[in-house]
Amino acid sequence: MTETLHAQAVQNRLLQWFDVHARTLPFRGVRDPYAIWVSEIMLQQTQVATVVPYYQRFMKRFPTVRTLAAAPLDVVLKLWQGLGYYSRARHLHKAAHMIVSQNDGAFPDTPEALMALPGIGRYTAGAIASIAFDRRVPVLDGNVMRVLARLYRCQDNPKTTAGQRRFWHLAETLVPKHRCGDFNQALMELGATVCTPKTPDCAHCPLQSLCQAYAHQEQDTLPRMPKAAATPHYTVAVGLVFKEGKLLIDKRKDNTMLGGLWELPGGKKQKHETLKQAMAREIAEETGLTVTVGKRLCIVRHAYSHFRITIHAYRCDWVSGTAKPLQSAAVKWVLPKDLKKYAFPAATIKIFDRLGLGSEYPFNL
């Protein structure tokens, strides 16, 4: 079978399968580049089921690129709260500004112009260009890469530059002349629902008779992923610092992880110190305040993509000093009942939930 014939067979079978089996999703069948962009950014490293309610809320609040550009970043981050990877929200907001100010609100329609926007890489540019504008360009995300590795029995390590180049090339050779967006979505859908990382459902796969990994029964060992490095773990102390009934929160700098979100002051415990010593030191370094460190209120564990933390949250009381943003973008004293107005990272929300803070809950420590 020649490569062209093989590609045609893959295209035909996948498109027929997609027409029947595609899941109904709020961003499916949409051609609005703005809506596709929002959904694609949300779907990065996040499950579809998690994304759907966020997408619906986001589109209701910001139905157009102009409404997004006009909103304060704090409001965008608040709506993103819980979805993680907050740089995505910051980039969306910044790119919306650029589209409105530089392009009068018109969405770029080529991969090159799309990739000039913050937060849009080759994958997202390919998805928007093919789905919204029917451009004949490939997409390559984790799902597509897995399908291609198995279909072609490709032994390359997808984490290497050479592996990336090879998989992009394979994806490129498969994109059909027509229905490019549907085909790209079909590849992603197959990877998400049939050709899954563990126990792929080969019995119901439209590509089974074309699949080299299936022919050699290697579907469980492909793609050849490198062994994951051990995840570092850190012990962290954070303080619920009170002064006259108000609680101190600080805002992370924009250019840091979780930038733009609010959190409780605190940080990593150093080897030579106790948790309470770490607590007092971190608050002094971050805010300039002197506090008394009281009882430990709770312990919360949280995993990020590259490290894990165990957070010890302490009740602290202001003794002296004026709070200053020495290591953050801003500091603020807020009433516990007002915490819900601010966007916090998931780990901080866990602490608030454990203590009955941060929403309509009564405050009682």
3-class DSSP state of 13: helix
CB of 45 to ligand SF4, least distance (A): 22
CB of 3 to ligand SF4, least distance (A): 17
In terms of CB distance, is 6 or 324 closer to ligand SF4? 6
3-class DSSP state of 287: helix
Contact residues for 320 (Cβ-Cβ < 8 A; gap 6+):
289, 290
Strand partners, 316: 241, 293
CB of 59 to ligand SF4, least distance (A): 32
Kind and range of the H or E run holding 247: strand 246-251
In terms of CB distance, is 184 or 287 closer to ligand SF4? 184
Q: At what angle do helices 73-80 and 87-103 cross, to 10 degrees?
A: 140
CB of 131 to ligand SF4, least distance (A): 22
3-class DSSP state of 195: coil
Instruction: Note whether 193 and 21 are within 8 A (CB).
Output: yes
Q: Which one from 40, 189, 263, 286 is the annotated catalytic residue?
A: 40
Could you give the CA distance from residue 166 to residue 163 in angstroms, rounded to a whole number?
5
By CB under 6 A, name the binding residues for ligand SF4. Answer: 147, 150-151, 194-195, 200, 202, 205, 207-208, 211, 213-214, 219
3-class DSSP state of 248: strand
Phi and psi torsions of 90, nearest 5°: -65, -40
CB of 215 to ligand SF4, least distance (A): 9
In terms of CB distance, is 71 or 210 closer to ligand SF4? 210
What DSSP string runs through 35-90?
A: HHHHHHHHHTTS-HHHHHHHHHHHHHH--SHHHHHHS-HHHHHHHHTTS--THHHH
Which tokens sit at 25? 């999703």
CB of 279 to ligand SF4, least distance (A): 51
Which tokens sit at 290? 């002197």
The residue type found at 16 is Q
Catalytic status, residue 40:
yes
In terms of CB distance, is 201 or 285 closer to ligand SF4? 201
In terms of CB distance, is 111 or 206 closer to ligand SF4? 206
In terms of CB distance, is 193 or 310 closer to ligand SF4? 193
Does 223 sit behind a cis peptide bond, omega within 30 degrees of 0 on the bond before it?
yes
Catalytic sites, residue numbers: 40
